[in-house]
Amino acid sequence: MSPGAHTCHALGCATRIARAQLMCRDHWRMLPPALQAQVKREFRAGQEIRQRRPRPAWFRAARAALDYVAQRECDARRHEQAS
């Protein structure tokens, strides 16, 4: 894997994304605008560089976004099984 690239943080997603991104475009689009805004607001340029730790507020926003996506995908799977 090239430096500066990693994979989407959503559960089970292997899509390659830039290091400064939290999720791939598909997962990002699942978020409600308020959560997208929160993640963007707490993001600080350069935080993806290993020596600079993201702020705790960013981790909280990122966690909320990832939990939301995981919940949505879980609901979708249940729906598929029911039909």
Which chain residues interact with Zn ion by CB under 5 A? 8, 10, 13, 15, 24, 27
Measured from the CB of residue 51, what is the shortest distance to Zn ion in angstroms? 26
Shortest Cβ 73–Zn ion spacing (Å): 10
Burial of 10 (0-12, 13-18, 19+ CB in 10 A): buried
- Whichever of 11 and 53 has its CB closer to Zn ion, that residue is 11
Chain-centroid distance, C-alpha 68: 9
Q: What span, in angstroms and rounded, lies between the C-alpha atoms of 76 and 56?
A: 30
Nearer to Zn ion, 13 or 64 (CB): 13
